[in-house]
Amino acid sequence: MSNQLEILFQLQVLDTRLQEKQRVVGRYESDLAARQAAIAASTAKIDALAASRKDAVAQRAFAERKIEDLQESLKTKRQRAQKARNEKEVRAGQDEVNSAQEEIRESETVLLEAMTRVEELEAQIAKAKAERAELENEDHRQISEAEGKIHALRSELEAERSEREGAAAAIEASLRKKYEFLLEKRAGLAVVEVDGGGCCSGCHVQIPPQTLIEIRRTGSLKVCPMCQRILFVAAIAPAG
């Protein structure tokens, strides 16, 4: 059992390294996803602004055409007013002219608002595009760096997984099953070394001295009375 415990402890060391590297890979991938999401959000913002600009341009064009039509109508009404034959027709003609002029002024206000809106949206689009370009430039550099690190870590993970499989295959099935169970239930830490003070390095509870003696003498499998993790006691080097 002593040799089995040593292999099991080495398996735990390997698993701990694998878990940490996998977490690092996860962080890099999460960062990349966040940056790509930021670019997608920026693109969506630009698209929405472009759609609003299209509507504003249409409103501006409509207002321009309406003003042209109203001005043509005003010209006709002025000509008709000049041909008035009596005071009543003069007043009626002037009322038509005044009404047309008021309508033109209102349409000019609408046109000015549409023109202002188009200019504002164009400025917002230019700003959003500049922000996206900055994101894309930064993202390109960071993606290249992060992808390089991810590739290197994945290569290390692949090599260490092969080593892990070899170590796991050397452990008795029942012991490996117990280890895998604890690995899942104890946050990836199934085997813990007893520290120099005789405490479990997993939960820091004091281990009974007799338990430590039995592990050292017989290499028997013992678990922490508190966290139930498998205990490993390193061999004491002979005094030299």
Mean pLDDT for the stretch of residues 52-60: 96
Q: 1 pLDDT band (50/70/90 cuts)?
A: low
Report the percentage of the chain scoring pLDDT > 90.
58
Q: Which of 201, 168, 165, 166 is nearest to 186 (CA)?
A: 201
Q: Which of 58, 59, 53, 61 is nearest to 125 (CA)?
A: 53
pTM: 0.61
Alpha-carbon distance of 171 to 2, in angstroms, equals 11
Pull the structure tokens for residue 171: 């452990």
Q: Which residue has the higher pLDDT, 218 or 109?
A: 109
Q: 236 pLDDT band (50/70/90 cuts)?
A: low
What is the pLDDT, as a whole number, of residue 149? 85
Assess whether pLDDT exceeds 90 at residue 114: yes
Assess whether pLDDT exceeds 70 at residue 239: no
Mean pLDDT for the stretch of residues 116-132: 96
Q: 139 pLDDT band (50/70/90 cuts)?
A: low
Strands 191-193 and 230-232: parallel
Q: Which residue has the higher pLDDT, 220 or 139?
A: 220
Q: Which residue has the higher pLDDT, 32 or 133?
A: 133
pLDDT tens digits for 173-199?
Answer: 999 999 999 999 998 999 999 998 999
Q: 217 pLDDT band (50/70/90 cuts)?
A: confident
What is the pLDDT, as a whole number, of residue 65? 96
Assess whether pLDDT exceeds 80 at residue 21: yes
Q: 36 pLDDT band (50/70/90 cuts)?
A: confident
What is the pLDDT, as a whole number, of residue 240? 44
Q: 32 pLDDT band (50/70/90 cuts)?
A: confident
